[in-house]
Amino acid sequence: TRGRPSASLFLAALFLLSLISTSRSAMAGMALGLIVLTYASFYPAAARRMLMILVLSGMVLTVPLFLVIPKLPSEVTNMIFSSARARLGIWYYTARHVEEAPFFGHGLDASRGTQNEVKANEIPWMKARRGVISLHPHNIFLQLWLDFGLVGVTLWGGLLLLLLRATRRLEAALQPYALGAFTCGLTMLSVTFSPVQAWWSAGFVVTAALFLMLAQNRSSKY
């Protein structure tokens, strides 16, 4: 408890630093992470259940929702920034490729070899272009579906749920920070980074190791 004010000040400083970042996903991740951290400080079990529901929803609903992207009215898409509109195109065409191999996927890093073409008037609010999918789909659930299919989504989604469940074993004072960190990472994985990027995966490993070290250090004191 004595360390909570210092930790809160440190996180607030990180959030303020993210505001000067050019990465909107980093700003969103920090903001949502801090919201969940605050909520989990009072209701850790409810926050954990909420995150589990979000993971399950992402596993089940991502592909069907992204398949209806072309039906979004222009009034809505005109209000978002250009990079977000580009992501909508990436998500839509990736979801279409998921339908080609729904059970086992196309293989690891499949999006690098996937070529797409937006034909004129196919997506009313997007200009005709080629190469919509970039190095990765910019969404963890969509990438799992594309690369590994239903089998992979079930396995990887199960691991995420087990990770959330494992936070119950942390000391009560550490749980909000673990859930906040999970939220921050999941937010950015849902709109920008790829889960198989080495530096990004290393960040998660380091974060998990820090929480384990903190848990062991605190347990040795009592």
**pLDDT digit string (tens) for 3-53?**
455 555 655 666 666 566 667 777 888 889 889 999 999 999 999 999 999
Q: Output the pTM of the full model.
A: 0.81
**pLDDT digit string (tens) for 12-22?**
666 666 566 66
Q: List b or e across 65-101, with b for residues whose CB sees 16 or more CB atoms inside 10 angstroms.
A: ebeebeebeeeebeeeeeeebebbbbbbbbbebbeeb
Question: What's the mean pLDDT in 64-87?
Answer: 86
User: In angstroms, how far is the first alpha carbon of the chain from the final one?
Assistant: 14
Q: Please give the mean pLDDT across all residues of the chain.
A: 81
Flag whether pLDDT at 141 surpasses 90: yes
**pLDDT digit string (tens) for 159-214?**
999 999 999 988 898 899 899 989 988 998 898 876 766 666 677 677 777 767 76
Q: List b or e across 176-199, with b for residues whose CB sees 16 or more CB atoms inside 10 angstroms.
A: bbbbbbbbbbbbbbbbbbbbeeee
